Amino acid sequence: MRFYTTQHAFYCGVDLHARTMYVCVLDQAGKIRFHRNLPCRADAFLRAIEPFREDLVVGVECLFCWYWVADLCAAESIEFVLGHAYYMKAIHGGKSKNDKIDSHKIAALLRGGTFPLAYVYPRGMRATRDLLRRRLHFVHKRAELLAHIQNTSTQYNLAPLEKGIAAAANRHDLLEHFGDHEPVQMSVAADLALLDTYDQTIHELELFLRHAVRTDDGSSYHLLRTVPGIGNILALTIVYEIHTIERFAGAGNFLSYARLVKGDRGSAGKKSKPGGAKMGNVHLKWAFSEAAALFQIANPKGQKLLARLRKKHGRGKAMGVLAAKLGRAVYFVLKRKEPFDLNRFVAA
């Protein structure tokens, strides 16, 4: 956990919502200089902080609507920090809680040097990252439709489907499989219509994303493609979820952020069950888990490595160890800007 410890003359805490924001400004002595509810408009916010702009820091909790405040502060050359929502327990733990109290606590955390930091993802690549996450949402919905068709066939005790229906070419005569059950055919027809739309939409998004990454960070994208198991989509995910590898002080920090290592808890010489499994970036966790599963495909050296890990750690834990090893390798691939070396990786 990192804290914002830089000293300023004024500290501005903003409890931000979709249409309103409660703004609190403290001076170095902790005295409230401004404390008011405002509409979420740039002009209203700038007027409120105008007397304090000379040496001011603005803190906002990491909610879905923080983008415009960060961009406004960047355009106006105002220091902006983003609070990690999970760690800001000083706000959520009080007996009384409202917007006025929360904004004051955010400002107090800034002033006291205990404001937990989240990464302020830059504007240039932010929208593309969100588009990539939206594509993953559509992929999940598409998978639900495929599963529903399979489950419907099983529900009516029909013969197993002869071909995989994930491919559009295998879905042309699918309705005939469900006989003369007209309501069932209507249900499956609705799934097929949505599947065709999802297929087209996902394909167009992937074309756009593969073109965009060439402008944003094409070198990192091509370096990641040298890692067995990391294809187009996983490489895109890693590039846009990381943004820049320089934001991590070391490989351990990166592995922790990607949820590839467990926490270490202890007290009075006794260790307790490790926690923090859900702290970090869930999208990177998914990407490296997928990469570990794909690493052994058509890769004899990878298959031998996985066999050794299974013998040492067991079948379940071996995949997690391999995912962490891949995460560490990706860190150094991006840090050193060198292609992945399979022989070195297997021998390590």
Residues 199-254: pLDDT tens digits? Answer: 999 999 999 999 999 999 999 999 999 999 999 999 999 999 999 999 999 999 99
Per-residue pLDDT at 86: 86
Per-residue pLDDT at 95: 83
Confidence band of 262 (pLDDT split at 50, 70, 90):
confident
Question: Contact 146/161 with Cβ under 8 angstroms?
Answer: no
Question: Contact 122/243 with Cβ under 8 angstroms?
Answer: yes
Residues 292-303: pLDDT tens digits? Answer: 999 999 999 999
Residue 134 has pLDDT above 80, yes or no: yes
Per-residue pLDDT at 185: 93
Confidence band of 1 (pLDDT split at 50, 70, 90):
confident
Average per-residue pLDDT for the chain: 94
Confidence band of 93 (pLDDT split at 50, 70, 90):
confident
Per-residue pLDDT at 254: 97
The answer to whether the pTM exceeds 0.85 is: yes
| More confident of the two residues 18 and 264 | 18
The closest alpha carbon to 83, from 156, 155, 2, belongs to: 2
Q: 310 CB contacts (<8 Å, ≥6 apart)? A: 318
Q: 336 CB contacts (<8 Å, ≥6 apart)? A: none
Q: How many residues does the chain have?
A: 348
Output the CA torsion sign for 298, 300, 302, 306: positive
The closest alpha carbon to 283, from 337, 222, 339, 236, belongs to: 236
> Phi, psi (5° rounding) for residue 346?
-70, -35
Per-residue pLDDT at 272: 73
Mean pLDDT along residues 317-321: 95
Per-residue pLDDT at 236: 98
Residue 318 has pLDDT above 80, yes or no: yes
Per-residue pLDDT at 169: 92
Residues 144-186: pLDDT tens digits? Answer: 999 999 999 999 999 999 889 999 999 988 999 998 889 999 9
Q: What is the largest CA-CA distance in the chain?
A: 79
Domain range 3-120, CATH architecture: 2-Layer Sandwich (3.30)
Per-residue pLDDT at 279: 83
Per-residue pLDDT at 267: 77
Residue ranges per domain, the chain?
3-120, 124-217, 248-265+275-347
Per-residue pLDDT at 138: 98
